[in-house]
């Protein structure tokens, strides 16, 4: 029987408690007859593992054979020297592939294990339920639906593989197509800091915004997509600063770009001002991966007393280490120059001896963004057009004259003319319906 203690490449698996429990029972089942204490211990491990498998099903939205889904998840999540090499350049031969084939033999045995052998310990109906599990509608928020379905498809293919070579081919093809681990299976991330260091943590609930959802700003959207497409194609691309009035779609545009180009290998990491000192650690973790990363900074601006921007300046351009080619920085701000300026910075009566240096210091951060894109508030006519388009998209059935009259009243008391105000107005009408 397969022994997980003999794994080589896939030795350090996350969430391996289920695997270790079930493997221990599989290998010790022949010793259980007449041993009441051992039978009780194994029974406890089985029920505990079944409980965890059902939890996995709820978290990831798995169905049918939960055991095989779980084993597949271990394979696609494990970032090891083999899986990362497959992701970056592919592997067709060599010692590394031979070592991986050794591990795949063990996994293939686990895939095909007949759980009826454990019937002498627990009721076999327990296994019937987890091997033929019916998913609850709407379950599973850890992955987007497409990735979840691809993992379930891989699970079926691995279970039906006719040979160890075919088994390995399915796994390697998945790594090449989607990547491996959290960076391969998720599109957006945030930074978490703990005693053990800086961690990149997946964000599992992303707004499904498309560029077409943003009415107007065609020139701005084109400039953003052209820069992003050049970046994904491996060409020269610039860091981007999206600036302008509040509620005009700056942040939504970046989210929409992520949704559009995720399948082309684009990933995004959200970073806040107080985390700028962790940027070098973050970049070190992503610079050798086969994805393109946007480090995203929303509502970026600094007061005079805030000095975090100095970390950012060094990372963008100026430090000894060159910024990796697979990393760009996209930021949004209501300020064009990011750092607060005073008239005293430029006036002759200031007590600052080198006033020009002060001005240049405050402008230097914005100058490091090669592409700047302006998002201005719409005028009355543009605002009304946004309202009409959104109303049509959402099926708001209100006569046009009445719709625009109510929209004008709404914007006067809810933040003025902006795309955000228009969307909030449509949400208000939908709520009344």
DSSP annotation of 133 reads: B
Q: Residues 372, 376, 377, CA angle at the centre, nearest 5°?
A: 160
What confidence tens digit (pLDDT) does each residue in 59-106 have?
A: 888 889 999 999 999 999 999 999 988 887 777 778 999 999 999 999
Q: 201-375 — its CATH code?
A: 3.40.50.300
State how beta strands 292-297 and 188-194 pair.
Answer: unpaired
What confidence tens digit (pLDDT) does each residue in 245-257 have?
A: 888 888 889 999 9
Decide if pLDDT at 32 tops 80: no
Assess contact for 60 and 124: CB atoms under 8 A.
Answer: no
What confidence tens digit (pLDDT) does each residue in 267-320 have?
A: 999 998 888 888 888 988 998 888 899 999 888 876 665 566 666 766 666 554
Q: Which of 280, 309, 296, 283 is nearest to 228 (CA)?
A: 296
What confidence tens digit (pLDDT) does each residue in 191-223 have?
A: 998 788 889 998 877 777 888 888 888 899 999
What is the domain partition of the chain in residue ranges? 4-185, 201-375, 380-432
Decide if pLDDT at 322 tops 80: no
Mean pLDDT for the chain?
Answer: 83
pLDDT classification of 363: cutoffs 50, 70, 90: low
Question: Rounded to an integer, what distance in angstroms lies between the CA atom of residue 81 and that of residue 87?
Answer: 10
More reliable by pLDDT, 224 or 208: 224
Sheet with strand 327-333: strands edge to edge: 197-202, 188-194, 266-270, 292-297, 327-333, 240-244, 371-375
Where are the alpha helices (H) located in 78-131, listed in sequence order? Answer: 81-88, 95-111, 125-131
What are 295's strand-pairing partners?
269, 329
Q: How many CA atoms lie within 13 A of 264 on its CB side?
A: 13
Question: Rounded to an integer, what distance in angstroms lies between the CA atom of residue 272 and that of residue 49?
Answer: 39
Extract the runs of DSSP E, i.e. beta strands, from 140-212: 188-194, 197-202
């Amino acid at each position: 029987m397969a022994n997980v203690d003999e794994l080589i490449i896939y030795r350090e698996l996350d969430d391996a408690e289920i695997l270790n429990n079930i493997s221990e029972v599989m290998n010790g089942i022949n010793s259980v007859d007449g041993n009441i204490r051992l039978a009780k211990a194994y029974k406890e491990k089985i029920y505990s593992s079944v409980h965890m498998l059902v939890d996995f099903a709820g978290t990831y939205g798995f169905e049918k054979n939960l055991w095989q889904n779980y084993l597949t998840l271990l394979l696609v999540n494990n970032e090891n020297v083999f899986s990362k090499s497959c992701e970056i350049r592919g592997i067709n031969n060599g010692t590394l592939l031979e070592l991986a084939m050794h591990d795949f033999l063990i996994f293939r045995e686990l895939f095909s294990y007949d759980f009826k052998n454990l019937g002498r310990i627990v009721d076999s109906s327990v296994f019937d339920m987890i091997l033929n599990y019916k998913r609850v509608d709407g379950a599973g928020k850890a992955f987007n639906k497409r990735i979840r379905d691809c993992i379930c498809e891989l699970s079926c293919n691995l279970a039906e593989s006719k040979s160890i070579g075919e088994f390995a081919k399915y796994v390697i093809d998945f790594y090449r197509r989607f990547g491996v681990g959290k960076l391969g299976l998720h599109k957006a991330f945030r930074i978490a800091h703990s005693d053990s260091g800086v961690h990149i943590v997946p964000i599992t609930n992303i707004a499904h915004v498309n560029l077409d959802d943003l009415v107007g700003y065609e020139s701005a959207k084109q400039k953003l997509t052209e820069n992003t497409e050049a970046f994904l194609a491996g060409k020269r691309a610039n860091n981007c600063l999206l600036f302008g009035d509040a509620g005009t779609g700056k942040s939504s545009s970046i989210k929409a770009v992520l949704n559009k180009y995720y399948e082309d290998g684009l990933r995004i990491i959200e970073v806040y001002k107080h985390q700028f000192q962790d940027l070098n650690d973050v970049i070190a973790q992503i610079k050798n991966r086969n994805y393109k990363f946007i480090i995203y900074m929303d509502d970026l601006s600094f007061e005079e007393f805030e000095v975090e921007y100095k970390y950012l300046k060094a990372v963008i351009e100026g430090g000894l280490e060159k910024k990796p080619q697979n990393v760009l920085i996209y930021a949004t701000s209501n300020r064009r120059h990011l750092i607060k300026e005073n008239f005293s910075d430029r006036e002759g009566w200031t007590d600052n001896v080198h006033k020009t240096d002060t001005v240049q210091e405050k402008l230097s951060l914005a100058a490091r963004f090669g592409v700047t894109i302006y998002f201005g508030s719409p005028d009355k006519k543009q605002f009304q057009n946004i309202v009409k388009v959104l109303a049509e998209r959402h099926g708001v059935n209100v006569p046009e004259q009445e719709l625009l009259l109510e929209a004008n009243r709404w914007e006067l008391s809810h933040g003025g003319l902006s795309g955000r105000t228009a969307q909030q107005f449509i949400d208000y009408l939908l709520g009344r319906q």
